[in-house]
Amino acid sequence: MITYLKYYLNNNKKVSSTDSLPTLEHLKKEYIDYLFKLTDKNIHTTAEILDISRTALLDKLSKYDISR
């Protein structure tokens, strides 16, 4: 996750104040989307990396409107 955060901050935003920092909710969405794409949208593998159930991942994909 730390590597992803460095990547995100280096490629998306330069931090000039706390107002410009992404929210934890936004980072969760972006990280799940990043992993999902990295695994070629493989639900089992993504859930395994996140150490959550497939059902929990499906709930998060729906919550964050990440297309399958």
Distance (Å, whole) CA 5 – CA 62: 23
Q: What is the pLDDT of residues 28-59, one digit of tens each?
A: 999 999 999 999 999 999 999 999 999 999 99
- Cα distances from 3 to residues 6, 8, 9, 19, 63, in angstroms, run 5, 9, 10, 22, 24
Distance (Å, whole) CA 8 – CA 12: 6
Q: What is the pLDDT of residues 5-34, one digit of tens each?
A: 677 767 765 556 666 778 899 999 999 999
Q: What angle do CA 40, 30, 51 make, to 5 degrees?
A: 65
- 5, 27 in Cβ contact below 8 A? yes
pTM: 0.74
Please report, as a single letter, which amino acid is at residue 10.
Answer: N
